[in-house]
């Protein structure tokens, strides 16, 4: 009998062992978005990954977006979508639809999928228990602040409910709708929500699932940079190696690190089982950003 394939499977488990030991009982915040929310195969792999994290002793917290679902719903209601500086202009009708879709449809679909995989998921949004308190956010255009409606800027994360749920047997699934001082609902960028929740929970990891491989050393490079420090990030921004839509993602990671998160990751959500591949392999598949390059163990390939 040829045992080669079986031995390779065992080697994978052994490679994962030091990470399981290091992360046991720790919080991992995952921002779920992009193609991983559209493709059925990717949906299933993400739910399997998160369920596995819970079963081996970690405390995953999932924060999700839902832009495509919101766009479809707005079209069905004949409401035009407008974006300013990458943010959706959100009038009273738009926030009504966004809340209906994110909380009533997308959130509950994710909860159902996790439960189907054997997890015990609970759906929440920022209104529940005043989990995400916010104020109106105004964006700057030509030196002036522009009112873009019910778009929120987070002022406080009341994380107690997440701590109680995630440290028990449940998986919190959070929709990025916050509540203002007047009781109104506000739409908030899901990356921002994930970063603030990770900081409030002092998470060991913040993982952003994106539609890009990670940070590349140059625009035409086929490789990615496996690990960066905060100083590296600022240096690469100055050199314009990091530009465009990658800038807010890496700066969001930097802010989370400065607020107490252990490690942050930008990974390609288009790869099946991307979460497990990033967490449990020596090199990972994306770009990890840290305060400084400290190894979990000697075999990590961070350089």
Binned at pLDDT 50, 70 and 90, residue 153 comes out as: very high
pLDDT at position 303: 63
The domain 14-290 having CATH identifier 3.40.50.10440: the answer here is no
Q: What is the pLDDT of residues 225-264, one digit of tens each?
A: 999 999 999 999 998 888 877 888 899 999 999 999 999 9
Contact by Cβ (8 Å): 62, 30:
yes
Q: Which residues are registered as beta bridge partners of 136?
A: 152
Average pLDDT over residues 112-123: 97
Q: Cα separations (Å) of 177 from 99, 162, 196, 216?
A: 7, 15, 13, 32
Binned at pLDDT 50, 70 and 90, residue 110 comes out as: very high
- Residue among 173, 180, 190, 177 nearest 248 (CA): 190
Contact by Cβ (8 Å): 253, 286:
no
pLDDT at position 166: 94
Tokens 């400065």 belong to 258
Average pLDDT over residues 119-129: 96
pLDDT at position 220: 77
pLDDT at position 4: 78
Which residues make up each annotated binding site for substrate? 66-67, 88, 187
Q: Is the predicted pLDDT of residue 155 greater than 90, yes or no? A: yes
pLDDT at position 32: 95
Q: What is the pLDDT of residues 62-94, one digit of tens each?
A: 999 988 889 889 989 888 888 887 778 888 999
In whole angstroms, what is the distance from residue 148 CA to residue 82 CA?
Answer: 10
Contact by Cβ (8 Å): 149, 38:
no
Average pLDDT over residues 113-124: 97
Which sign does the torsion angle of CA 113, 285, 169, 158 carry?
negative
Domain boundaries, the chain: 14-290
| Average pLDDT, rounded, for the chain | 91
Q: Which residues are registered as beta bridge partners of 146?
A: 139
Burial 139-174 (b: 16+ CB within 10 A, else e): eeeeeeeeebbbbbebeebebeebbebbeeebbbbb
Lowest mean pLDDT among 33-37, 203-207, 271-275: 33-37
End-to-end CA distance of the chain: 39
The first and second tokens of residue 153, run together, are 């800027």
Torsion angle in degrees (nearest 10) through CA of 209, 212, 217, 218: -160
pLDDT at position 245: 78
Q: What is the pLDDT of residues 183-226, one digit of tens each?
A: 999 999 999 999 999 999 999 999 999 988 898 887 778 888 99
């Amino acid at each position: 009998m040829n045992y080669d394939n079986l031995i390779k499977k065992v080697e994978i488990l052994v490679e994962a062992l030091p990470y399981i030991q290091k992360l046991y009982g720790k919080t991992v915040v995952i921002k779920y978005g992009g193609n991983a929310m559209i493709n059925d195969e990717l949906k299933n792999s993400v739910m399997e990954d998160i369920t596995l994290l819970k079963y081996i002793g970690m405390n995953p917290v999932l924060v999700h977006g839902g832009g495509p679902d919101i766009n479809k719903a707005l079209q069905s209601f004949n409401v035009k979508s407008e974006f300013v500086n990458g943010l959706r202009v959100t009038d009273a009708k738009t926030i009504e639809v966004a809340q209906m879709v994110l909380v009533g449809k997308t959130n509950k679909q994710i909860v159902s999928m996790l439960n189907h995989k054997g997890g015990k998921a609970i759906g929440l949004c920022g209104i529940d228990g005043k989990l995400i308190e916010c104020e109106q956010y105004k964006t700057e255009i030509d030196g002036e602040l522009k009112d873009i409606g019910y778009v929120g800027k987070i002022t406080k994360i009341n994380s107690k409910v997440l701590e109680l749920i995630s440290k028990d047997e449940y998986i919190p699934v959070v929709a990025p709708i916050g509540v203002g001082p007047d009781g109104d609902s506000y739409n908030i960028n899901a990356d921002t929500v994930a970063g603030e929740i990770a900081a409030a929970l002092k998470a060991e990891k913040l993982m952003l699932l994106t539609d890009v491989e990670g940070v590349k050393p140059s625009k035409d490079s086929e490789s990615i940079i496996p690990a960066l420090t905060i100083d590296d990030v600022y240096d690469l921004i100055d050199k314009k190696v990091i530009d465009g839509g990658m800038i807010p993602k890496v700066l969001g990671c930097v802010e989370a690190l400065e607020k107490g998160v252990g490690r942050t990751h930008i990974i390609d959500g288009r790869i099946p089982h991307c979460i497990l591949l990033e967490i449990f392999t020596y090199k990972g598949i994306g770009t990890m950003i840290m305060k400084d390059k400290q190894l979990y163990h000697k075999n990590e390939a961070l350089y």
